[in-house]
Amino acid sequence: MIELLVALVLVLVVIILVLVLKFPLKKISKDDIKDAFATCWKELGIDQDIGAIKEKAQDITRAAQSLQDLFKVTRGRGEYGEFQLEQILKDLLPPQYVHIRERIPRIGKIPDAHISTPQGILCIDSKFPLENYRRMIETADPTQKENYKVAFRRDVQEQIDKIKEDYVKPEEGTTPFAFGFIPSEAVYQYLTECETELVAKAAKEGVLLVSPATLAVNLNLLSIGLKAVEISEKAEEIQKNLKGLESALRELEDVWNTLYSHIKNSYNKAGEVNNKYTNLKLAFQKIAETREEKK
């Protein structure tokens, strides 16, 4: 918008220079220039463009203020983080593994989200400790900046302790670690660059701090693992079915061998009976022939 306004002003300046060069300076008064400027301003619709730009600028200001107010309110910021977390999970994982704000019976807690994995329940807590961080960034006083830095570190540590206490319980069916989701890349970057010891200590205690980008990377890896598990389970199921089929084939083979034996025996007996029948028939024929000769 600023570039457009500058371009319009430059157009006006060019028009005025053309007028000055076209007419002798003594014939052009200040009123003439003023009238020419006003006419050009109106005919080019610059007044309307500037009005529209002003209105859009006000809309942007209001939107920015609304967003700023959202992040100033802890509840609003928490809801935004939960919404962002939910969208990332639904975009990257199959729905049967994702649970949003559902109670986990064994631990009696309701995390912002949890994921069902073969290794246990992976809990995710969405927190955004921004107040002291924002004050630390905004203040120019070194003493206040250091005080806010210490307060922010304390806020993060308290949240890490809470996540560890509530959601890292392998003996109750969770995974050995949980995610602490920070919806702000700026806050996450500050922590990983300026509070490395805090982040590393949290990881050792089973609390992994993640941002939207790093959470997406972890979920992609998890998704691959879940698909591998599904393939493995299907392979095991197929193998079980094949074993069942193999057993059925053995049973069929046993039945067939028995039947074949009976058929073979019947065939042999049928041949034996046929031979005896033939011999008996020949004997009757000889007897009949003997009677005919006596007559």
Provide DSSP, 55-81.
Answer: HHHHHHHHHHHHHHHHHHSHHHHHHHH
In this predicted model, what pLDDT tens digit does every residue of 51-71 receive, in sequence order? 555 565 565 555 544 445 444
> In 3D, which of 16, 22, 6 has the Cα closest to residue 36?
16
Does residue 265 sit within a domain?
Answer: no
* Full-model pTM: 0.55
Q: Clarify whether residues 97 and 193 are in a common domain.
A: yes
Provide the domain limits for residue 18. Answer: 2-66
Q: What is the DSSP letter of 97?
A: G
Q: Which residues contact 74 (CB under 8 A, 6 or more apart)?
A: 131
Q: Clarify whether residues 112 and 145 are in a common domain.
A: yes
Q: Clarify whether residues 99 and 221 are in a common domain.
A: yes
Q: Clarify whether residues 130 and 57 are in a common domain.
A: no
Q: Clarify whether residues 101 and 211 are in a common domain.
A: yes
Q: Clarify whether residues 47 and 99 are in a common domain.
A: no
| Confidence band for 48, pLDDT divided at 50, 70 and 90 | low
Q: Which residues contact 11 (CB under 8 A, 6 or more apart)?
A: 40, 44
Question: Quick one: average pLDDT of 79-95?
Answer: 87
In angstroms, what CA-CA distances link 192 with 82, 166, 199? Answer: 22, 23, 7
Residue 174 tokens read as 């969770």
Counting residues of the chain whose pLDDT is more than 70, the rounded percentage is 57
Q: Clarify whether residues 144 and 105 are in a common domain.
A: yes
Does residue 214 sit within a domain?
Answer: yes
